Structure 1
Amino acid sequence: MVKFRFPLLIALAVFVAGLALTAAFKDRHYMLLSLVLLAAALVPLFVRLERRPLESRELVLLAVLSAVAAVSRVPFAALPSVKPVSAIVILSAYVFGAEAGFIIGAVAALVSNIYFGQGPWTPWQMFSWGMIGLTAGWLRHTRWMRSRAGMLIFGFVWGFLFGWIMNVWYIISLPEAFSWQLAAAAYVSSFYFDLAHALSNVFFLAILAGGWTKVLERFRKKYGLLQQE
C-alpha cells in the first residue's frame, strides 16, 4: 500500500485544487471539472498499470462495484441522505484497499448523478465519497476497522463528515457574503440530514458487512484481484 500512497496523495491534491476552483466557476464548467477530477481519481490506477499489467477483470471489477454503488442510490431517491453508497464504498475499500475505494467512491458519485442530475455539487460528492473509500482503505488493517463495532462507528462518523464537506460547497454557492452566522446556520440546518446519512451507514454496514465482505474476499483471493504489491 505504501508505494501507492504517493499517487493517491497527488490525486487528492488535484481534487482539493479542483474544489477550490468551484468557488470561481460556480455554475459554469462543472461538468468539465468533474471529468478532470475523475481523471485525477484514476491516477493511482494508471500508476499501477505502469508498474505491472492490470488485468481486464480488475478493471471490470472496479467498474461493476462503481456501478453497484451508483445504482444503489436510485431505490432510495425519495429518502434524502439515506443511501447505501457509503457502505458499499467502505466495504469495497476494506477488501481491495484505498486505491480501489477512492476510485469507486468518485466514479459512483459521477455516474449516479446521471440520474439525480449533474451540477456544481458533483465534484464535491466525488471528493467526499472518494475520501470515504480512501480512509477506509488506509485503515483497513487496523484493529479498529477489523472489529464490527469499529467499522460501524467509522461509517457513522463519515455520515457527518460527508455532510460537513458538502456544506462547504453550499456556503460557497450562496450569493451572500461569508459570515460565521451563515456557516453556523448551514451546519445546524444540515444536522438531521447528516444524522440520517450516519444512521443509514450504520444500518447498511450492519446488513452488508458479513456477506458482502466474504464474497469480495473470496473473489480477491481466488482470482488474485487488485492484490497489493
Structure 2
Amino acid sequence: MKSTFNLSLQKISRIAILSALCVALRYAFSSLPNIQPITAIFLITAIVYGLSDSILIMSLTMLVSSFLLMFGPWVIWQIFSFTVILVIWKYLLYPLTKFLKFAKINEIVWQSLFAGLLGIVYGLVIDSCYAFLYGMPWWTYVMAGASFNIAHALSTVCFYPLILPILRRMTNEKNH
C-alpha cells in the first residue's frame, strides 16, 4: 500500500529550517505582545509550498517555541486557531486577491490587508477557545484581547510584504 504522505529529504529540511526560523523569531519578538512575523510566514508558506507544509511548519513552531515560552493547554488551541486561518487563507482570501481589481490596488496590498484581517480572525478564534477552556463569557475574552488582536493584525500587515519576496525568491531559486 502506497502512502500519500510523501516527505522528501529536501521537504523535511525546508520544514525544519522554516520551523527553526519561526521559533527563533517568535522568541525574539516575545517581549512585544502579538507583534510577530510568524503569522505572515505561515500564510506565505501556505501559498508558496502548500497548506500541508504550512500546517507542519506552524505546528512544529508552536510546539517547540512553547517549551521556551510556556507550555499549556493553550498550545493546542493556538495550533487549532492557526489551522483555521490557514484554511481560510488558502481556499478563500488568497484566491480572492487574484480577482480584486478595485481602485488599481496592487495584489500584494490586498494580500497584506487580508493577512491582517486573519490576525483579527485568529484572535477571535483563540479568544473563543479560551472562553470555552476557562468557562468564561465569550465577550470578556474578546474585549480583553482586542488591543492584542489589533497589534497582531497590524504587525502581520507590515511583515507580509517584507517576507513575501524572500520566500518567493527561495522557491524560484529551487526551481532553477
Assess same fold via TM > 0.5.
Answer: yes
Deviation at 1:206, TM superposition (A): 2.2
Deviation at 1:145, TM superposition (A): 5.6
Deviation at 1:213, TM superposition (A): 2.0
Q: Which residue of 2 aligns with 1:191?
A: 146
Question: How many residues get paired?
Answer: 167
Deviation at 1:86, TM superposition (A): 0.3
TM-score by length of 1: 0.66
Does residue 207 of structure 1 match 2:142?
A: no
Query: Partners of 1:143 and 1:122 in 2: how far apart?
Result: 30
Structure 1 segments, 4+ long, off by >6 Å, are none
Query: Partners of 2:46 and 2:169 in 1: how far apart?
Result: 13
Q: Which residue of 2 aligns with 1:150?
A: 110
RMSD over aligned CA atoms reads 2.2
Deviation at 1:75, TM superposition (A): 1.1
After superposition, give the CA deviation of every residue in 1:84-120 in whole Å (9 maximum; x if it has no partner): 1101111111101112112212221111111111101
Q: Which residue of 2 aligns with 1:162?
A: 122
Q: Which residue of 1 aligns with 2:74?
A: 121
Query: Partners of 1:141 and 1:218 in 2: how far apart?
Result: 23
Residue identity matched to 2:156: N
SS of the equivalent of 1:118 reads coil
Find 2:14's aligned residue among 54, 61, 77: 61
Change (3 A) 1:141 1:124: closer
- Structure scoring higher RCO (CA < 8 A, sep ≥ 6) equals 2
Q: Which residue of 1 aligns with 2:30?
A: 77
1:97, 1:138 within 8 Å by CA — same for their partners in 2? Answer: no
Q: Which residue of 1 aligns with 2:84?
A: 131
2:94, 2:111 within 8 Å by CA — same for their partners in 1? Answer: no
Unaligned runs of 5+ in 2: 100-106
SS of the equivalent of 1:159 reads helix
Unaligned runs of 5+ in 1: 1-45, 223-229
Query: Kindly, what percent of the aligned residue pairs are identical?
Result: 24
1:82, 1:200 within 8 Å by CA — same for their partners in 2? Answer: yes
1:99, 1:137 within 8 Å by CA — same for their partners in 2? Answer: no
TM-score by length of 2: 0.84
Does residue 87 of structure 1 match 2:43?
A: no
Q: Which residue of 2 aligns with 1:32?
A: none
Find 2:56's aligned residue among 103, 111, 115: 103
Deviation at 1:133, TM superposition (A): 3.4
Does residue 173 of structure 1 match 2:173?
A: no
Larger mean Cα displacement after TM superposition, 99-108 or 130-139 = 130-139
